[in-house]
């Protein structure tokens, strides 16, 4: 621990984090597109193989005649449906919290190529107030509108991953760890995080959180026995090759200042 820097990082570190969080937060668009294209071809199991007709129906996308686009309400209902019908009771319990607004779904447009991602939302008040943090699942409008019946399980697999981040946030015990999940709420929040931990410590936390979320996602994938784009990573789950496989899967995503830490944790060379 002693060799870890305790100094507050530079402004460019903040900028790097914010940009990277924006980019990474998500599972990649390429992955998303593959899921969407694959889903229709394969028969997906519902735990054990269940006929498609027995899968619960996703709420329909309702088009607003005024805009020609889907209504926000119909998209939010689809997202809530994926939580409320998830096989994991802990995730179904989160769906109940949407009703009280203590956990929220925010719709976003495909600016960063993410299907969905979890973050703690901070209102930007200064100084940042821990009590104002709201756990939010940001859901891409185009993605949620495009999920078909055949892709429900794959969509729930993405939710499985993001709910791991929600649980990590819930389990966080220090102010800095809580605000870690709100880092793209601005510099004041980032300052609190980096006053308590070094860049390397924050990067290590980021890696451990992703590693745990992906590992759980892989276990669920294997349990469900479905076809998914994450399969090649999951082949390395619970093996000595996991960190290296995760490094390849992330493929440079993640905060740029973290790449040296990630390479070290994965025992890999940093690409030129
Ligand atoms: Zn993640």
How many alpha carbons lie under 13 Å from residue 28 in its C-beta half-sphere? 12
22 Cα to the center of ligand 1, angstroms: 12
Structure tokens at 12: 């460019």
Q: Is the pLDDT of residue 17 over 80?
A: no
Rounded CA gap, 191 and 124, in Å? 13
φ, ψ for residue 27 (rounded to 5)? -85, 145
Q: Do residues 138 and 106 touch, judged by C-beta distance below 8 A?
A: yes
pLDDT at 133 over 70: yes
User: Using 50, 70 and 90 to split pLDDT, how confident is the model at 206?
Assistant: very high
For ligand 1, the distance from its centroid to the CA atom of residue 165, given in whole angstroms, is 7
* Stretch 231-246: mean pLDDT: 97
Q: What is the maximum span of the chain, computed from C-alpha positions, in angstroms?
A: 62
Ligand 1 center to 59 CA (angstroms): 26
Q: What is the pLDDT of residues 173-182, one digit of tens each?
A: 999 999 999 9
Q: How confident is the model at residue 116 (pLDDT cuts 50, 70, 90)?
A: very high
More confident residue, 119 or 30: 119
Tell me how far the alpha carbon of residue 202 lies from the centroid of ligand 1, in angstroms.
15
Q: Coil, helix or strand for 235?
A: coil
Which pLDDT belongs to residue 33? 39
Cβ atoms < 10 Å from Cβ of 43: 11
- 247 CA to centre of ligand 1 in angstroms: 13
The domain spans of the chain are 11-40+56-265
How many whole angstroms from 104 Cα to the centroid of ligand 1? 18
Q: How far is the CA of 167 from the centre of ligand 1 (A)?
A: 12
What pLDDT shows up at residue 92? 96
Q: How many contiguous H segments (helices) and E segments (strands) does the chain have? A: 12, 3
162 C-alpha to ligand 1 centroid (Å): 6
* Res 107 pLDDT > 60: yes
User: How far apart are the CA of 211 and the centre of ligand 1, in A?
Assistant: 8
Q: Which of 48-62, 139-153, 194-208, 224-238 has the lowest mean pLDDT?
A: 48-62
Please tell me the distance between residue 4's alpha carbon and the centre of ligand 1 in angstroms.
25
How far apart are the CA of 25 and the centre of ligand 1, in A?
A: 6
- The phi-psi region of residue 84 (left if phi > 0; otherwise alpha if psi is between -120 and 50; otherwise beta) is alpha
Ligand 1 centroid – CA 206 distance (Å):
9
Expressed in angstroms and rounded, the spacing between residue 64 Cα and the centre of ligand 1 is 33
Tens of pLDDT, residue by residue over 60-99, are 999 999 999 999 999 999 999 999 999 999 999 999 999 9
Q: Residue 210 Cα, ligand 1 centroid: separation in angstroms? A: 5
Identify the pLDDT of residue 53.
57
């Amino acid at each position: 621990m002693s060799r870890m820097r305790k100094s507050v990082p530079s402004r460019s570190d903040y900028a790097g984090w914010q940009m990277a969080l924006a980019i990474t937060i998500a599972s990649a668009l390429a992955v998303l597109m593959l899921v969407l294209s694959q889903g229709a071809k394969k028969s997906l199991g519902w735990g054990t193989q269940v006929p498609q007709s027995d899968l619960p129906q996703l709420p329909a996308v309702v088009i607003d005649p005024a805009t020609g686009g889907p209504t926000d309400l119909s998209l939010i209902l689809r997202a809530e449906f994926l939580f409320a019908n998830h096989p994991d009771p802990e995730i179904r319990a989160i769906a109940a919290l949407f009703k009280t607004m203590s956990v929220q779904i925010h719709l976003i447009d495909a600016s960063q190529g993410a299907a969905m991602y979890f973050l703690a939302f901070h209102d930007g008040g200064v100084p940042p107030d821990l009590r104002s943090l709201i756990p939010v699942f940001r859901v891409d409008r185009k993605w949620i509108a495009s999920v078909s019946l055949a892709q429900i399980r794959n969509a729930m697999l993405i939710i499985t991953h993001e709910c791991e981040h929600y649980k990590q946030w819930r389990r966080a015990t220090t102010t800095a760890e809580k605000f870690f999940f709100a880092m793209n709420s601005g510099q004041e929040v980032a300052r609190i995080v980096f006053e308590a931990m070094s860049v390397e410590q924050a990067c290590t936390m980021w890696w451990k959180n992703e590693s745990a979320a992906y590992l759980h996602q892989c276990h669920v994938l294997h349990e469900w026995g479905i076809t998914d784009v994450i399969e090649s990573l999951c082949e390395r789950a619970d093996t000595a090759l996991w960190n290296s496989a995760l490094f390849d899967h992330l493929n440079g995503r993640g905060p740029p200042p973290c790449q040296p830490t990630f390479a070290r944790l994965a025992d890999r060379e940093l690409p030129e």
